[in-house]
């Protein structure tokens, strides 16, 4: 009887991938805070996790959406520094949590394989 890593690890690998993709988008938003006409982008994490569970497509790229600004800027840039920093910090904490869960699952598998 073989081990099904997809079942054993659950949603954690896809959560880590999605958090990483979101971190890259948020970092790009922060890097372009002063770029005229730059449109802030983000990923709806919950919707993407549900999509990955229903379609079982863990490797597919997430749907990127444009963030609507709270207040329009004169140069057309939709990045709000405070919002992006808060979202980046929150995503970073969630990424660390997802890694901790994944590490826990892998440690459990290792113990089971070693017979401990």
Residues 95 and 115: their CA atoms lie apart, in Å, by: 30
Residues 10 and 108: their CA atoms lie apart, in Å, by: 13
Q: Which domain holds residue 33?
A: 11-105
Is residue 92 a part of any domain in this protein? yes
Q: What is the pLDDT of residues 43-55, one digit of tens each?
A: 999 999 888 877 7
Residue 52 is predicted with a pLDDT of 81
Is residue 73 a part of any domain in this protein? yes
Is residue 68 a part of any domain in this protein? yes
Q: What is the pLDDT of residues 15-44, one digit of tens each?
A: 899 999 999 999 999 999 999 999 999 999
Is residue 2 a part of any domain in this protein? no
Is residue 15 a part of any domain in this protein? yes
Is residue 69 a part of any domain in this protein? yes
Is residue 42 a part of any domain in this protein? yes
Question: What domain count does the chain have?
Answer: 1
Q: What is the pLDDT of residues 89-111, one digit of tens each?
A: 999 999 999 999 999 888 988 88
Count helices and strands in the chain by DSSP H and E runs: 4, 2
Is residue 112 a part of any domain in this protein? no
Q: Strand pairing of 64-66 and 41-43?
A: antiparallel
Res 57 pLDDT > 60: no
């Amino acid at each position: 009887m073989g081990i099904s890593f997809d079942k054993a690890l659950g949603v954690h690998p896809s959560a880590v991938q999605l958090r990483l993709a979101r971190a890259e988008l948020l970092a790009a938003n922060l890097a372009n805070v002063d770029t005229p006409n730059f449109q802030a982008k983000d990923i709806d994490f919950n919707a993407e996790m549900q999509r990955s569970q229903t379609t079982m497509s863990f490797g597919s790229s997430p749907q990127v959406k444009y963030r609507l600004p709270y207040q329009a800027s004169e140069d057309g840039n939709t990045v709000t520094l405070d919002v992006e920093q808060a979202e980046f910090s929150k995503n970073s904490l969630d990424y660390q949590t997802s890694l901790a869960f994944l590490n826990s699952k892998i440690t459990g598998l290792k113990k089971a394989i070693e017979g401990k």
